Structure formats: C-alpha cells, structure tokens
Structure 1
Amino acid sequence: MQLSVKHLLGIRDLTPDDINLILNTAVSFKEVLQRPVKKVPALRDFSILNLFFENSTRTRISFELAEKRLSADTINFTASSSSVSKGETLLDTVNNILSMKVDMIVMRHSATGAPHFLANQFKAKNINVAIVNAGDGINEHPTQGLLDAFSIKEKLGELAGKKVAIIGDVMHSRVAMSNIYLLKKMGAEVTVAGPPTLIPKYMKEAFDVRVEYDLRKALEWCDVANVLRIQLERQNQVLFSSLREYN
C-alpha cells in the first residue's frame, strides 16, 4: 500500500487510509529504537536536505536523527548562514541545491504555502524530488499532527470517538490546524479552548469543532488535552494582558 500523495504538505491532503498507513508504519519503526543498533537501511543511498528558514531545535534534530537511523545521507541548511541572508530568493536557493541531486527536501518556512509553491514548481519542471512540510507560517505542521495522533493511539487505542481539547493560542498555531484536520478525518470530536482573542471567530462553522472559553469546562469534557504555547513570534498586536495570565 502506498500514500495517495507524492509530498507531505499538510494533513488536509491526506486520506484516512494515508494517515493509518503512516501511523502503522511508525509502530514498526518504533521497535527499531529498542535494538542495540538503532539503524535500518530503508533510505540507504537517499540524500535528504533539511531546508530550515526558521529557527528550530526539536523538529530539525528529530528529522535529522530519523533520517540517519534510516541510513539516509543528510544535508542541513540554515538560512542565517546561507546566501539567503544576502538576498537570495527561495527559488534560487532551491535550484542551486537541486543541482546537487538531492532526493527529498524537509522544509520549514515562515511563509504560509512555501512548500506548496515549491511542489508546484517541481511539478511544472518535472523534478522528481519529494517535499515534507516541517511547518509553514500559520498553515500546518503535519508531522507534529501525526506525532500527536500516534501518542493518542498509543495511550487510548483509537482516535475515533475520542474527545480532544486543543487549548491555547489556536489562532496562530499551525500545530492546532494539523491536529484539527487529522482528528476530524479520523472520527474524533474536537474542542478548541482559549481566550476569545486567540480563537478565530470562524472556527466552529469552518471546522465543525466546539468552541469553549472556560478552561475548566474544556478539561472536564475531554479525554485528551493538547496544550499550545503562545506564538509571540507570529503576533503583531497585544491579544492578552500578560504571559502570566495566559499560563
């Protein structure tokens, strides 16, 4: 069985079968971590570029470690130490790197839709390089959504019928969006909870989720609470009185 998509750009593009395939494959690879030698040849002779235009610690290291444990050759790119800092465009950067014949790109970018832009460019030019979205603007963070779903399945068995509260800065969180798309596709119930200034007014109608402004009520309702940090780097106005109030 194969995924229905070439690129992992967002949960929105995946079918329930795609999601189950990814989660079930992850179970088999988790067993590898219990071995004395935590390495398999699944991606031997593959070159993977980690193309990060935003700062990252956990995501970048997690991808690099997974790639190496699957025997891939990895190349790490950070915008601050590249020609991007001198004005080179995203497309220029990628074209230069593609001349080095990489097989896959893992990409994080502050601009919503940047991985989709690249995917469209590759399709137009018949370039056979897969793209994994490691977070784009406030759009999606699909691998984090998949990881959260994996954790819920490990603890509770299935996603269908479970009640999940996504709490905090929903308005600016790409993780929240990927979680909402995934949980709804897999039959879970979702409540978004937080201060009114951090919950988009269109959430209930657009995504068929419950909206709750009372934290206690949200916690009493749910089987799982997914708590978000405040996304100060994506805010351009004051939306709450203090971090202490938020916490």
Structure 2
Amino acid sequence: MKYALVTGGSRGIGRAICVQLANDLDYRILINYNGNKKAAEETLEQVEAAGGMGEIIQFNVTEAANVKSAIETWHETHKNAVIEVIINNAGITKDGLFMWMPQEDWASVIDTSLNGFYNVTNALIQKLLVNKYGRIINMVSVSGLKGTPGQTNYSAAKGAVIGATKALAQEVAKRNVTVNAVAPGFIKTDMTEELNEQELKKMIPANRFGSAEEVAHVVSFLASSKSSYITGEVININGGIYS
C-alpha cells in the first residue's frame, strides 16, 4: 500500500492538497495534524468524498522524538505500507517588525518550517532511497524568495528550506527521488484572512488572491510520476507578483 504524507494537512492549503491527491493519484493520504483533530477528520471526510482513502496521524513537526515515534508506530501497524510522497506543508507565521520581534516568535517560526522539514524528511528518506522512488515537496513562499517586510522570521525560514530543497535534490536524484518546492504568493486561507485583499491585490499583476486549489494542482503534478525530470526547482504560484 502506497501513501502520501501531508504535514499540516488539516486546513487551508494542506487540506486542498490532500483532496487533490485523492482526486488525481493512487495514494492513500496520510493527514498529519498537531492540535486540531476535528479539522483533520473533516479533511479525511473530504478525501473520502473525492473517492480516496486516508487516515490521520498526530505529531508536532517541531519535536524530533515525537515525529520519529509517531512514524515508527505507524510503520509497525502498517507492515507492507510505504510512504512514497512527503509534502512538508506545516508552517506558522508570527509577523512583526524585526526590531521588536521576541526571540520565541523567531524561534517558533524557524522551528516549524525548517526543523519540521528536517524532522519529517529525515525520518522517512532512507526508505525512499532503498525503494529507489520518492517525491519530496516543500511548501515555501514568495517571502522566502523576495523577502517580505514584517516577516523576517518567515522569510528566513522559507529561504532556508529553499536552499535545503536544492541541496537535497542533488544528493538523491540518482535514486529517482525528486525534491522540489512550491512557493505560493497571496492565497485565500485562514492564514491570510486578516489581510486587506482590496489593498494588496493592487500589487499582484493577476489582480486577485489565488485559491488553495490552484496551489494543490501543482503539488499533485509534482507528486506524480509525470514530474520525474523536475528536481531542485521552486515553482512560483503568485499571480505574477515576483516574476
């Protein structure tokens, strides 16, 4: 049985990715959540409504021991299963001007995006290499490419994951494992509902925010066998804001 793991799969872009993978590919969807079990169960319902199969798995991506034990326990109860696709989507923002940024706001944002990428991918990559097939997709951001004022911590975290994506892609390409990043711009989700869309869309050539589904289509393609010659890439989905 083959699985695709989506971290932070309970809401927003993560949820859209889970549903799109269920629509497009022959994977069971492993929906990771940290605190919101109800939202994860709702994602699972949507995956099943799309004709897919899945299950939920709880761990906090920032806690290496927690990630390792959750994945080991999962493997023990799924003897013949293999996780072929890893989508590192879990991320948080704690925006504020750098001068007044508390250390915990810096650390928690870096911890979730960057260390979360390490903790989850490192726990699973050996199996991908042994099986000589895999897809690793890291959700980054326009902030990690151009830097966004008020988001120095988030820009740093996502910029670091972009560097890691490019380096790891070169290490594992011979084993038919690809590593890519997807960099959304302004997408309508819980994370952006506080933003003033009327004001911000003036800076976007497409003159609108994107949808989570638009992001999910690209992730689904990168998770498929069709994308086998694309690796180490950052795909921008931002309506032309950074072109």
Bigger share in helix = 2
Range into which the TM-score falls when normalised by the shorter chain: 0.3 to 0.5
TM-score, normalization by structure 1 = 0.32
Asked which structure has the greater CA Rg, the reply is: 1
Identify which of structures 1 and 2 has the higher relative contact order when contacts are C-alpha pairs closer than 8 Å and 6+ apart. Answer: 2
